[in-house]
A and B are shown apart, each in its own frame.
Chain A
Amino acid sequence: MSNDRPTTGPDRPTADTPPRPADRQPLLEIDGLSVDFRLADSVVHAVQDVSLHVRAGETLAVVGESGSGKSATALSVLRLNPSPPCVYASGEIRFDGRDLLRLSEKELGRVRGRDIAMVFQDPMTCLDPLQRVGAQVAEVLRHHTGMSRAEAKEAALAALDEVGIPDPALRYRQYPHELSGGLRQRVMIATALVARPRVLIADEPTTALDVTVQRQILDLLVTLQHKHDMAVVLITHDLAVVAETADRVVVMNKGKVVETGDVLDVFDRPADPYTRKLLAATPRLEAA
Chain B
Amino acid sequence: MSTDATDTTPATTPTPTHAGPLLELDGLRKEFGGRRPNVAVDDVSLDVHEGETLALVGESGCGKTTLTRLLLGLLEPTAGSVRFDGRDLAALTASELRGVRRQMQVVLQDPYSSMNPRMRITDIVAEPLVTHDPEARGRRARARNRERVGELLEAVGLDAGIQDRYPHEFSGGQRQRVSIARALALHPRLLVLDEPTSALDVSVQATVLDLLADLQRRLGLTYVFVSHNLAVVAQVADRVAVMSRGRLVEVGEAASVLRTPRHPYTRQLLDAVPVLDPRRGRRAAARTSAQTDAPTDAPAGEAAGEPTAEPTDEAGR
> A-side interface residues toward B, CB under 8 Å?
17-18, 20-22, 57-58, 65-66, 181, 210-215, 218-219, 222, 226, 237-247, 263-264, 267, 277-288
B115 lies within 8 A of chain A by Cβ: no
By beta carbon, the residue of chain B nearest A244 is B281
Over the window 231-261 of chain B, the binary record of Cβ atoms lying under 8 Å from chain A Cβ atoms (1 yes, 0 no) is 1111101000000000000000011001100
Q: Main SS of chain B's interface residues?
A: loop
List 19 extra interface pairs beyond A222-B286, A279-B276, A288-B254, CB under 8 A: A20-B288, A65-B204, A181-B60, A211-B272, A212-B268, A212-B269, A219-B283, A237-B201, A237-B202, A240-B273, A240-B274, A243-B278, A244-B275, A278-B203, A281-B202, A281-B205, A284-B276, A285-B234, A288-B235
Contact in complex: A288, B258 (CB < 8 Å): yes
From A22, A219, A242, A243, B289 is in contact (CB under 8 Å) with A22
Contact in complex: B231, A241 (CB < 8 Å): no
Contact in complex: A245, B283 (CB < 8 Å): yes
B18 lies within 8 A of chain A by Cβ: no
Contact in complex: A287, B235 (CB < 8 Å): yes
Interface residue ranges of B268-317 to A (CB < 8 Å) = 268-279, 281-284, 286-291, 307, 309-310
Chain A nearest CB from B170 CB (Å) reads 14
Q: How large is the interface on B (under 10, 10 to 19, 20 to 34, 35 or more residues)?
A: 35 or more
Q: Which residues of B contact A226 (CB under 8 A)?
A: 286, 288
From B274, B279, B288, A218 is in contact (CB under 8 Å) with B274
Chain A nearest CB from B289 CB (Å) reads 5
Q: Which residues of B contact A243 (CB under 8 A)?
A: 274-278, 281
Chain A nearest CB from B148 CB (Å) reads 32
Contact in complex: A244, B232 (CB < 8 Å): no
Q: Which residues of B contact A212 (CB under 8 A)?
A: 59, 268-269, 272
In the bound complex, CA of A279 to CA of B269 (Å): 22
Contact in complex: A21, B289 (CB < 8 Å): yes
What are 17 A-B interface contacts by the 8 Å CB criterion?
Answer: A20-B289, A20-B307, A21-B288, A58-B288, A65-B202, A181-B60, A210-B60, A211-B228, A218-B274, A238-B202, A241-B274, A243-B276, A244-B278, A283-B206, A284-B234, A288-B235, A288-B255
From B229, B275, B283, A283 is in contact (CB under 8 Å) with B229
By beta carbon, the residue of chain A nearest B203 is A281
Chain A nearest CB from B202 CB (Å) reads 5
Chain A nearest CB from B254 CB (Å) reads 5
Interface residue ranges of B184-229 to A (CB < 8 Å) = 201-206, 209, 228-229
In the bound complex, CA of A241 to CA of B209 (Å): 21
B89 lies within 8 A of chain A by Cβ: no
From A210, A214, A285, B270 is in contact (CB under 8 Å) with A285
Q: Which residues of A contact B269 (CB under 8 A)?
A: 211-212
B230 lies within 8 A of chain A by Cβ: yes
In the bound complex, CA of A284 to CA of B43 (Å): 32
Contact in complex: A211, B273 (CB < 8 Å): yes
Chain B nearest CB from A156 CB (Å) reads 28
In the bound complex, CA of A242 to CA of B291 (Å): 17
Chain A nearest CB from B243 CB (Å) reads 13
Contact in complex: B309, A284 (CB < 8 Å): no
Contact in complex: B201, A285 (CB < 8 Å): no
Q: Which residues of B contact A287 (CB under 8 A)?
A: 231, 234-235
Chain B nearest CB from A211 CB (Å) reads 5
Contact in complex: A283, B309 (CB < 8 Å): no
Contact in complex: A278, B274 (CB < 8 Å): no
Contact in complex: A264, B273 (CB < 8 Å): no
Chain B nearest CB from A284 CB (Å) reads 6
Over the window 102-128 of chain B, the binary record of Cβ atoms lying under 8 Å from chain A Cβ atoms (1 yes, 0 no) is 000000000000000000000000000
